[in-house]
C-alpha cells in the first residue's frame, strides 16, 4: 500500500482545431513515463479554472506535485504587463499550478518543478521572471535551444554547465558541484521568491535551480532532466529522491490516519 505514491501534474490547454478537435487538455508523455519508471502513479490534473472544490479534492489524494515545462507564465501573475517578447500563456494552468504550489508549501508536501515548473514555483512565492532573458537581461548566454526540424537542436543536447551550490540538496543528488544540462527556455527567474534558496546558476549567473528553506522536499530546476534520465544517473536520481519523498509523505499520512482512527 506504500509502494506507489500518487503524483499530480497539471495538464496544458490545447486550443481547438476547427472541424477536427475540441479544446483539450494535454500532457507530454515523457514526463508521465519517467514518473512511472520511478515507481509512482501519475495523476494528470485538469485545468478547472476557479473550481477550488474539485482541485482541492484532487490535491488531498496526492502525495506529491510535479510541475512540467510548457508555455510562458502570464506576467499578470507577478504584477507586470505582458510584453511583446512574452510568448503564449495559459491562465487556467497558471491558476491551477499556483494553487497547488501554495497548498504544498502549507502542508510540506513534496514538490518538484522543471523548466516552466521552477518559474511558476518562483512566481507562486512572490518572485518575478524575465519575460525574455535575451531581451531583458544584459550579458546573457543563449538559453533557448528549442528542438527544430533539422535536428541541429535536440531535447537531450547538453548545452552548458550549471554551477551547483555546495551542501545543497541539489548537490547531493547531482553528486557534483558542476553538471552539464540541456536548455529549452527563453524566460527565467529575475527576483527570487520568498522561502526559496538559489542552488544552481548558469555561466551568466541566471538562477537555474531553487530549493525550499523549510526542510521539506521542494526542488526546481530550469533544465529538462526528464530527457536525460537514461544517460545521466544524477538526473534519474533527482526523480527517484522526489518520488521517495512522496512515498515517505504517504506513509506519514497513513500513520496519522491510523492513529486518529
Residue among 224, 227, 241, 249 flagged as catalytic:
224
Residue recorded with cell 482541492? 56
Active site residue 226: yes
Local structure of 203: helix, strand or coil: coil
Q: Are the CB atoms for 128 and 75 separated by under 8 Å?
A: no
Beta strand residue intervals within the chain, DSSP E:
6-10, 12-14, 24-26, 41-45, 64-67, 111-114, 129-130, 160-164, 178-181, 188-189, 196-201, 207-212, 218-221
Cα pseudo-dihedral 117, 119, 125, 126, rounded to 10: -160
Phi-psi label, residue 115: left if phi above 0, alpha if psi -120 to 50, beta otherwise: left
186 is catalytic: no
Distance in angstroms (rounded) separating the CA atoms of residues 200 and 113: 14
Q: How far apart are CA 103 and CA 109, in angstroms?
A: 8
User: Considering only CA atoms, which of 4, 114, 115 is closest in space to residue 62?
Assistant: 4
Residue 138 to residue 78: CA distance in whole angstroms = 21
H/E segment holding residue 136 = helix 133-136
Please tell me which residue in 77, 86, 104, 115 is annotated as part of the active site.
115
CA angle 238, 44, 99 (to 5 degrees): 80
Angle at 227 between CA 245 and CA 68, to 5 degrees: 60
* Catalytic-role residue among 38, 208, 226, 241: 226
Active site residue 60: no
Say how far residue 246 (Cα) sits from the centre of its chain.
Answer: 15
Residues noted as catalytic? 115, 224, 226
Amino acid at each position: 500500500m506504500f509502494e506507489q505514491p500518487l503524483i499530480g501534474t497539471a495538464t496544458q490547454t490545447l486550443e481547438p482545431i476547427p472541424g477536427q478537435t475540441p479544446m483539450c487538455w494535454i500532457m507530454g508523455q515523457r514526463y508521465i513515463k519517467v514518473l512511472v519508471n520511478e515507481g509512482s502513479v501519475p495523476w494528470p490534473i485538469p485545468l478547472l479554472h476557479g473550481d477550488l472544490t474539485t482541485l482541492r479534492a484532487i490535491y488531498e489524494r496526492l502525495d506529491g506535485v510535479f510541475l512540467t515545462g510548457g508555455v510562458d507564465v502570464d506576467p499578470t501573475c507577478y504584477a507586470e504587463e505582458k510584453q511583446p517578447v512574452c510568448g503564449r500563456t495559459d491562465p487556467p494552468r497558471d491558476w491551477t499550478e499556483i494553487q497547488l504550489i501554495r497548498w504544498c508549501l502549507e502542508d510540506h508536501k513534496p514538490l518538484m518543478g522543471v523548466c516552466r515548473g521552477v518559474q511558476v514555483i518562483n512566481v507562486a512565492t512572490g518572485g518575478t521572471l524575465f519575460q525574455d532573458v535575451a531581451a531583458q537581461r544584459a550579458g546573457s548566454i543563449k538559453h533557448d535551444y528549442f528542438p527544430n526540424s533539422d535536428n541541429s537542436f535536440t531535447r537531450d543536447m547538453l548545452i552548458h554547465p550549471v554551477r551547483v551550490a555546495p551542501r545543497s540538496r541539489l548537490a547531493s543528488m547531482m553528486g557534483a558541484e558542476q553538471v552539464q544540462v540541456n536548455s529549452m527556455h527563453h524566460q527565467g527567474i529575475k527576483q527570487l521568491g520568498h522561502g526559496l534558496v538559489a542552488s544552481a546558476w548558469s555561466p551568466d549567473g541566471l538562477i537555474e535551480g531553487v530549493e525550499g528553506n523549510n526542510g521539506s522536499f521542494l526542488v526546481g530546476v530550469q533544465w529538462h532532466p526528464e530527457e536525460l534520465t537514461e544517460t545521466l544517473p544524477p538526473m534519474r536520481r533527482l526523480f527517484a529522491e522526489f518520488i521517495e519523498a512522496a512515498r515517505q509523505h504517504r506513509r506519514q499520512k497513513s500513520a496519522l490516519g491510523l492513529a486518529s482512527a
